[in-house]
Amino acid sequence: MRKRADFLAAAKGLACARGAVLVQALDRKDGRPGVRIGFTATRRIGGAVQRNRAKRRLREAARLTAPGLALAGCDYVLIARGGAIRRPWPALLDDVKSALIRLAADLGAPSGETAAPPPNSGPAAADE
């Protein structure tokens, strides 16, 4: 997601705060099955370098967790909170994962309607 209007629309949906991340979710209800994810970090996080580092960490966490947990047809916004830069990597992954699980339950997703994992993901792709 890149347009401000998309971020503002997602802010009107459901939200779940976990540790160093706040995740907002909105069911687009437009019939398109894709998942869109946006990332943001406010100046409260720090200067440009710190904000970019926080967003890079959130992007990677989303890349690893969203394919199995994000609902098709939804928009997600991951907002970095205070400890996003210093939080240990496994804890940050757990924050994103638990927030996505909670939002999926709140959006009422029947099991099996998550986004399909991208090709070349998983343990075998990490070895390449």
pLDDT tens for each residue of 62-97: 999 999 999 999 999 999 999 999 999 999 999 999
State which amino acid sits at residue 99.
A
Tell me, yes or no, whether 123 lies in a domain.
no
98: pLDDT strictly greater than 60 = yes
Range of the domain at 73: 4-106
What CATH number does the domain containing 34 carry?
A: 3.30.230.10
* Among 3, 84, 2, residue whose Cα is nearest residue 41: 84
Tell me, yes or no, whether 111 lies in a domain.
no
Is pTM beyond 0.85? Reply is no
Please provide the average confidence, as pLDDT, over all residues in the chain: 88
Buried (b) or exposed (e) across 20-45, using 16+ Cβ within 10 A?
Answer: bbbbbbbebeeeeeebbbbbbbeeeb
How does pLDDT run across 23-33, given as a tens digit for each residue?
999 999 888 88
Tell me, yes or no, whether 114 lies in a domain.
no
